[in-house]
């Protein structure tokens, strides 16, 4: 008898991608200014650590909230006891108001249509369970967040079909790319239930244009499918163009008499406080939908990943402080803009460029095609291993994000100090300047590099089909037997 289920052991989790492998290598040898100055600097983590002082200052000024008190009296017992999965009304109201503020109050959100989840990971998986059956598919524009292979597919067995976007137009979505992805799904006998996008984009660090959003709305209307807009980076837009939520587009279209009201019920938004407030450890996510059936089903499913009452109480007070939240959003954007400029400047000094349209997020989409030994994904993996082991930087290869062009990398900038970022740029500049990195080596870099060669081979172009579309349970068993 097998100890574990097929689902628990299948490889559709994506844990063997270079995105996760880089993290594993970093954890074995993490950089520390004092204890390990030659260690690996983590630049593969999209974490916002630039404005913790603002959050900590608020907590110091509001000790009763942090101490779980109301009017000076403890409410610890109240918060510690059972709460149903609908969430605290005060928190849901504060959260939707915060979401509206981020969007310039051009749209409002009904707290009765929001479902709380344990982060955006839970929110996206919940929507997959609500909207699709096993073997159905969602279309995702490339490059996309590597974790979606886990979040959307692993337990739901929903398939992902890539919408291939290219650098020729800064990776914007086109009608031809949408149609091509839809046809590809049909060839694989997959029923397409919808499209999922991240706006602002992870890993591009760009906001979607109105034209792209209108194109998506028209497409789902024509094909009778859903649209999920993951907007967890909506509060990180630090320069123009401004962020436009899909809900703003729907609102504008809804003003016309010929608008199909059914479309509104097929547009869903995912949000989280992990990026804008830098609170991934608090596990606060949300689904917003005008579809009552989706809200009802998602609310029932949220019992598998609730947000604690203590967290809701604390954040309802924090988000309810409008003066604080508006100052925080403004100052956080200034800090992100400054830090992004530092990264771009450091890369340019090393002869490396970023996507010019980068205006949001906690990372840059970096063009290292000029450093490849050949225009192949094998060459991308070799460059990645040199940067990881020789330079000592963990960055995310474009192939882990399903980019169709070798040589692009996601590089994060908001999870470290300025000194650490400057050191990372110095390391990279020295590497590039030293005869394409050939002379910049360490005694054990080759040995370390070989550790992940076998895993990284799975990321070559030849294996992309299985990695992107996944394998059936039968195929997984046959592969394991081989």
- The structural domains of the chain, ordered by start, are 6-47+329-474 (3.90.1150.10), 82-320 (3.40.640.10)
From the list 149, 119, 154, the residue with the least C-alpha distance to 18 is: 149
- The DSSP bridge partners found for residue 364 are 411
Q: What is the pLDDT of residues 274-285, one digit of tens each?
A: 999 999 989 999
Contact 43, 394 (CB under 8 A): yes
At residue 399's C-alpha, the angle toward residues 394 and 401, to 5°, is 80
Token pair in block for residue 142: 């490339």
Task: Evaluate the omega torsion of the peptide bond into residue 200 and state whether it is cis, within 30 degrees of 0.
Answer: yes
- The DSSP bridge partners found for residue 322 are none
From the list 329, 284, 315, the residue with the least C-alpha distance to 114 is: 284
Instruction: Say what the pLDDT of residue 340 is.
Output: 97
Question: Taking the chain, what is the end-to-end CA distance rounded to the nearest angstrom?
Answer: 19
pLDDT average, residue stretch 339-362:
96
In degrees and rounded to multiples of 5, residue 328 shows phi and psi of: -60, -50
H or E segment at 323? helix 322-349
Contact 416, 41 (CB under 8 A): yes
Instruction: Say what the pLDDT of residue 446 is.
Output: 45
pLDDT average, residue stretch 389-398:
96
CB-based burial label for 3 (10 Å; 0-12, 13-18, 19+): exposed
Q: What is the pLDDT of residues 404-449, one digit of tens each?
A: 999 999 999 999 999 999 999 999 999 999 855 443 443 344 444 4
- Rounded CA separation 482/476 (Å): 10
- Rounded CA separation 59/363 (Å): 28
Q: What is the pLDDT of residues 437-478, one digit of tens each?
A: 443 443 344 444 444 444 444 433 333 333 333 333 333 333
Show which residues are catalytic: 145, 230, 232, 275
Token pair in block for residue 389: 């082991």
From the list 409, 413, 416, the residue with the least C-alpha distance to 203 is: 409
- Rounded CA separation 28/460 (Å): 25
Neighbours of 337 (CB within 10 A): 15
pLDDT average, residue stretch 205-210:
96
In degrees to the nearest 10, what's the CA dihedral of 54, 34, 445, 346?
50
Q: What is the pLDDT of residues 4-32, one digit of tens each?
A: 887 777 776 666 778 778 888 999 999 99
Instruction: Say what the pLDDT of residue 13 is.
Output: 65
Please name the residue that has the structure tokens 């650590």: 49
Cβ-Cβ contacts under 8 Å for 158 (sequence gap 6 or more): 128, 132, 133, 134, 135, 136, 137, 138, 152, 193
Q: Whole-number mean pLDDT of the chain?
A: 87
């Amino acid at each position: 008898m097998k100890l574990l289920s097929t689902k628990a052991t299948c490889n559709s989790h994506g844990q063997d991608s270079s995105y996760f492998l880089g993290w594993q290598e970093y954890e074995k040898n993490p950089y520390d200014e004092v204890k390990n100055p030659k260690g690996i600097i983590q630049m593969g983590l999209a974490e916002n650590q630039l404005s913790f002082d603002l959050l900590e200052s608020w907590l110091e000024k509001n000790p009763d909230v942090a101490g779980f008190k109301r009017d000076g009296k403890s409410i610890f017992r109240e918060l510690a006891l059972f709460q149903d999965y609908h969430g605290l009304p005060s928190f849901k109201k504060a959260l939707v108001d915060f979401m509206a503020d981020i969007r310039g109050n051009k749209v409002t959100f009904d707290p009765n249509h929001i479902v709380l989840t344990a982060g955006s990971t839970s929110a996206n998986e919940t929507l997959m369970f609500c909207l699709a059956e096993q073997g159905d598919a969602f279309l995702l524009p490339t490059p996309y967040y590597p974790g979606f292979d886990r979040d959307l597919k692993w337990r739901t067995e929903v398939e992902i079909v890539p919408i291939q976007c290219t650098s020729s137009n800064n990776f914007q979505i086109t009608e031809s790319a949408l149609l091509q992805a839809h046809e590809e799904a049909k060839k694989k006998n997959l029923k397409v239930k919808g499209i999922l996008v991240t706006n602002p984009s992870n890993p591009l660090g760009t906001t979607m244009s109105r034209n792209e959003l209108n194109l998506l709305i028209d497409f789902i209307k024509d094909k009778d499918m859903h649209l999920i807009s993951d907007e967890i980076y909506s509060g990180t837009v630090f320069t123009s163009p401004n962020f436009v939520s899909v809900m703003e587009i729907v609102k504008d279209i809804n003003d016309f008499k010929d608008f199909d009201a059914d479309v509104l019920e097929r547009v869903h938004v995912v949000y989280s406080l992990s990026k804008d407030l830098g609170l991934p450890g608090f596990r606060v996510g949300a689904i917003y939908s005008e579809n009552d059936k989706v809200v009802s089903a998602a609310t029932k499913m949220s019992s598998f990943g609730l947000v604690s009452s203590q967290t809701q109480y604390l954040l309802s007070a924090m988000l309810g402080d409008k003066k604080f939240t508006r100052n925080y959003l403004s100052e956080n954007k200034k800090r992100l803009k400054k830090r992004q400029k530092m990264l771009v400047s450091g890369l340019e000094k090393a002869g490396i460029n970023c996507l010019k349209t980068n205006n949001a997020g906690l990372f840059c989409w970096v063009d290292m095609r000029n450093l490849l030994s050949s225009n192949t994904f094998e060459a991308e993996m070799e460059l990645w291993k040199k940067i990881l082991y020789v330079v000592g930087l963990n960055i995310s290869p474009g192939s882990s994000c399903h980019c169709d062009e070798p040589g692009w990398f996601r590089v994060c900038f908001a999870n470290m100090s300025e000194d650490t970022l400057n050191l990372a740029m110095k390391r990279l500049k020295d590497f590039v300047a030293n005869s394409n990195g050939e002379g910049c080596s360490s005694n054990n870099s080759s040995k370390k590099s070989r550790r992940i060669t076998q895993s990284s081979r799975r990321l070559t172009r030849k294996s992309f089909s299985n990695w992107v579309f996944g394998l059936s349970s039968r195929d997984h068993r046959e592969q394991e037997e081989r």
